[in-house]
Amino acid sequence: MTWPNFITMGRLVLVPVFILAMLDGETEWAFLVFLIAGISDAVDGYLARKFRQVSQLGTYLDPIADKLLLVSGFITLGYLGEIPSWLVVLVVSRDVLIVGAVLISHLMSQPVEVRPIFVSKMTTTIQIVLVAVALADQAGLSELSAILFWLGLGTAALTTASAAAYLRTWMRHMAETS
């Protein structure tokens, strides 16, 4: 266990705290927890690289913690009506598609290595920004409703492009290894 892994595990623990704060109407706390989780993600990545503490466990835990926080943010904000349900379904479906493709590849003894591509990094960035802005709006920290509309459209476009890119890569991999 490395320090970055402990920090990542702390981020995993923050996910239910975040969800409960949102459902209890404690939106300021939820926003703060989301910010802390985001900062912890940057810190654990920095420490892992700076002190050469990149571990196999960390390569699995870090994206799981990130996805759990983001997906729970989308689902909770969708449930509360802050993000449209169609966008929640799109974001969650993309992640299910990626995980499903990896599992199918593994079950067929044709494991595929999923490496982040540029469009997926942009997708994750806009998703994080959308959740943060929606949380700030929900918490009454500022009036951001107009921005949310445009962020939602950008998120939908990038999420769709990312899903298509991963699907194309997976299909190519499956065809080459058959």
Q: Which CATH number goes with the domain that contains 33?
A: 1.20.120.1760
pLDDT score of 169? 94
Stretch 99-106: mean pLDDT: 94
For 138, the token pair is 């929900």
Burial of 8 (0-12, 13-18, 19+ CB in 10 A): buried
pLDDT 10s digits, 16-29 = 999 999 999 999 99
Q: Which residue has the tokens 């913690």?
A: 65
What letter represents residue 165's amino acid? A
User: Looking at the predicted structure, is the pLDDT value of residue 142 above 80?
Assistant: no
Q: How many domains are contained in the chain?
A: 1
Measure the CA–CA gap between 93 and 75, rounded to whole angstroms.
12
**CA quadruple 161, 119, 59, 45: dihedral, nearest 10:** -140
- 117: left (phi > 0), else alpha (psi -120 to 50), else beta? beta
Crossing angle of the two packed helices 85-107 and 145-177, in degrees rounded to 10 = 20
> What's the pTM value of the predicted model, to 2 decimals?
0.92
22: containing domain:
3-177
